């Protein structure tokens, strides 16, 4: 009977991509602009989950693992990173620097409209 050592199990686990990922992921649906090398204009993508170290987005175009990309997410601005994986109309992006994923969930406006009281004088 073959025996596996603890070291070989640890090594195998560290080779697993899911073991290499860290940080909690927020499931969400956000429109974002993805800037790819070789394209003049950014393309629209939908971000499906977001963590401090990366994201998953819907994008059916051609990309290569390792491509340098930038993505503009509401509340975060432009974030630079690399394509970590691509499959079945989805891509994974690893950020060059950690971000605060909660910033993407913050409201953009205050929700109040600045209405002048002098615009509609009372009668």
Which stretch of 36-45, 79-88, 103-112 has the lowest confidence by average pLDDT?
A: 103-112
**Average pLDDT of the segment spanning 55-75:** 96
4-14 pLDDT per residue, tens: 433 433 333 33
List the single range of 69-83, 85-99, 106-120 with lowest mean pLDDT.
106-120
What domains can you pick out in the chain, each with its CATH number?
22-99 (2.40.10.220)
Q: CA 59, CA 89: separation in Å to the nearest integer?
A: 5
Average pLDDT, the chain: 78
Distance CA 83, CA 64 (A): 7
Measure CA 3 to chain center: 41
- What value, to the nearest 5°, has the Cα angle with vertex 35 and ends 33 and 38? 145
What pLDDT does 38 receive? 84
**In sequence order, which residues have a C-beta less than 8 Å from that of residue 34 and are 6 or more positions away?**
42, 43, 44, 45, 57, 59, 69, 70, 71
DSSP state of 43: E
pLDDT tier at 104 (50, 70, 90 boundaries)?
confident
pLDDT exceeds cutoff 60 at 3: no
Residue 121 phi/psi, 5-degree rounding, is -65, 145
pLDDT, residue 105, reads 83
State the pLDDT at residue 122: 58
């Amino acid at each position: 009977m073959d025996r596996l050592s603890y070291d070989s199990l640890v090594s195998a686990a560290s080779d697993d991509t899911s073991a290499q990922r860290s940080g909690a992921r927020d499931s969400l649906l956000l429109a974002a602009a993805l800037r790819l090398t070789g394209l003049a204009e950014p393309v629209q993508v939908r971000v499906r989950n977001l963590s401090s170290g990366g994201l998953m987005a819907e994008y059916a175009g051609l990309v290569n693992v390792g491509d340098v990309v930038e993505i503009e997410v509401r509340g975060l601005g432009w974030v630079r990173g690399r394509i970590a994986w691509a499959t079945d109309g989805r891509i994974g992006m690893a950020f060059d620097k950690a971000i605060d994923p909660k910033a993407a969930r913050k409201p953009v406006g205050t929700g109040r409209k600045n209405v002048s009281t002098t615009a509609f004088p009372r009668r």
